[in-house]
Chain A
Amino acid sequence: DSGVTQTPKHLITATGQRVTLRCSPRSGDLSVYWYQQSLDQGLQFLIQYYNGEERAKGNILERFSAQQFPDLHSELNLSSLELGDSALYFCASSARDAAPEAFFGQGTRLTVV
């Protein structure tokens, strides 16, 4: 158990809908990263938050947004969903930016139908 909790584990929704994925980082970790893994793709970095502030952005679509709350949990909001958004979404946390390693949650499998 990595200590990072993601909910829900699975989500099936229709095109055009909006969903929210939730991540609770390891206790004490300030940094949260979101990654997307689509079929045959590596883990693609979406966005990082550090202690409530957006720290870095990757290939995140404008339809997607995220935030980190004062209790350090994070949410990834995906709207106007398209079939191509079907993927495994991972959250990872680390103590700080340059921390030796990040700890991953088990991911949320999103299927858009």
Chain B
Amino acid sequence: ILNVEQSPQSLHVQEGDSTNFTCSFPSSNFYALHWYRWETAKSPEALFVMTLNGDEKKKGRISATLNTKEGYSYLYIKGSQPEDSATYLCAFKSGGSYIPTFGRGTSLIVHP
């Protein structure tokens, strides 16, 4: 069983704050790391796919980094807005199975 951990479990920030959260995954047999954004009553939506150690991806105010050797990825949100409120999921794919194993997510609430 692959262990994918996300921290913190939940986060409350004020509008305008920058924030970051962590996804930890096995450091062996790495294939890909995915970040998804999941708003209530909607389907999870892909944010980033990261495949190489040292990858950095950016989409607007959201960015992510990847360290496959130590088995972690960070997701950063700069200047959080209320519309950023969602659960952020990471999913790890190993080279053996390609089945995404999901963490439990970080629930972000941005207060106006």
Contact = CB atoms under 8 A, between A and B. Distances in A.
Interface in B92-112: 93, 97-105
Contacts of A101: 34, 46, 49
Contacts of B41: 106
B98 A97 contact: yes
B29 to A, nearest CB: 13
B97 A43 contact: no
A71 to B, nearest CB: 21
A71 B2 CA distance: 32
Contacts of B89: 42-43
Interface residues of B, number: 24
A2 interface: yes
B105 A42 contact: yes
Given A43-B89, A105-B43, A106-B42, A58 B99 contact: yes
A72 interface: no
Interface string A73-87: 000000000000000
B26 interface: no
Nearest to B100: A102
Contact of A90 (B32, B43, B49): B43
Interface of A: 2, 4, 33, 35, 40-43, 45, 48, 56, 58, 90, 97-98, 100-107
Interface of B: 4, 31-32, 34, 36, 41-46, 49, 89, 91, 93, 97-105
10 contacts: A2-B45, A4-B43, A35-B102, A40-B104, A41-B104, A43-B91, A43-B102, A45-B101, A45-B102, A100-B49
